[in-house]
A = this chain, B = another copy of it.
Amino acid sequence: MPGSPRTDRRRLGNDAWEALLSAHARLMKQFAAEDIWQDLSMREYDVLYTLSKCREPLRLGELHQHVLLSQPALSRMVERLVERGFVARCPDVRDRRGVRLSLTAAGRDRQRRIGARHARSVARALSAELDGDELAQLSAICWKLARPHIASKDDVKEAT
């Protein structure tokens, strides 16, 4: 007995989310188990990686949008990375409440070394399961989820 289109859609969405969570957990564990992180945690590497992608020094708040950590936890993680010489923190001239963060030379070097190995490992893991089309589909779909469009009134109405 087929469900209503509405119920189907709901199942589809929940199954997709569970699949994404499972894939995430499986791969994160696999990557974490590799011996490439030196004295960094994966979360710390994530911060260095995010900073490495930006030409402009990043605000703590902007960094926070990309990292799954509470704001205070991120603030202190950055503090530790500053102490260890991987990140530079300087006041923002435009908004003196804020901070601007960038990689030091040491931080950039560390990110590059770890990143090179990690990237190989990521490509290997994903390519082992998916062909080129699937990889492209996964990218396209996940980027849609990562950068949601602004909710319109219609969306809100539909959501009810």
Give me the interface of A with B, judged by CB distance under 8 Å.
8-10, 12-17, 19-29, 66-68, 119-120, 122-130, 132, 134-149, 151, 155, 159
Flag if A148 contacts B135 (CB, 8 Å): no
Flag if B14 contacts A138 (CB, 8 Å): no
User: Given A123-B13, A123-B14, A159-B124: A141 and B144 within 8 A (CB)?
Assistant: no
User: Given A29-B68, A123-B9, A128-B155: A145 and B14 within 8 A (CB)?
Assistant: no
Query: This chain: how many copies in the complex?
Result: 2
User: Given A68-B28, A141-B137: A146 and B22 within 8 A (CB)?
Assistant: yes
12 contacts between A and B (CB under 8 A): A10-B120, A12-B136, A13-B125, A16-B139, A17-B126, A19-B140, A23-B146, A24-B68, A26-B146, A26-B148, A129-B144, A129-B149
| CA of A21 to CA of B135, assembled, Å | 14
Residues of B close to A132: CB separation below 8 A: 8-9, 12
Residues of B close to A13: CB separation below 8 A: 122-127, 130, 135
User: Given A145-B129, A151-B128: A19 and B66 within 8 A (CB)?
Assistant: no
Residues of B close to A130: CB separation below 8 A: 13, 16, 141, 144-145
Flag if A128 contacts B159 (CB, 8 Å): yes
Flag if B17 contacts A145 (CB, 8 Å): no
